[in-house]
Amino acid sequence: MALGGIVGALLRTALAGWMPDAPDAWPWSTFIVNVAGAFVLGVAVTALHERRTFARRLLATGFCGALTTFSTMQLELLRMLDADALGLAATYLVVSVALGLACVAAGRGLGAWWRP
């Protein structure tokens, strides 16, 4: 699990450094990692469902757990609200949750196709 966490955290940090966010702008780095992580989580948990394997823990708990960040999303929403960007905050919240659910569902579909 730790190895997956290290890779996920390094990827998250690299993306955040490459795409810095402002309080009144769309936080692309957090949005991308959360949506991508939801997809990978859906694939990993579904494809490896019946096996409690190292790979499942490595990908689902380690990599996705370190890559995605619900708490940062909440902080960014508060910053948007503090900057009086109410429409942006509402859109970010709705799109993040809706697209995250769609990606985890798509990942489950792909994972089911891969499952032996």
Torsion of CA 58, 61, 65, 71, to 10 degrees: -170
Distance between first and last Cα of the chain:
23
| Band of pLDDT at residue 5, cut at 50, 70 and 90 | confident
What digits encode the pLDDT tens for the residues 10-40? 998 998 888 877 778 899 999 999 999 999 9
List pLDDT tens digits, range 29-88.
Answer: 999 999 999 999 999 999 887 776 888 888 888 999 899 999 999 999 999 999 999 999
So what's the pLDDT on residue 48?
Answer: 86
Q: How confident is the model at residue 105 (pLDDT cuts 50, 70, 90)?
A: very high
Stated as kind and residue range, the H or E segment containing 19 is none
Q: What is the pLDDT of residue 104?
A: 97
Segments making up each domain of the chain, as ranges: 2-114
Amino acid 116: pLDDT: 67
> What is the rounded distance in angstroms from the CA atom of residue 30 to the CA atom of residue 67?
9
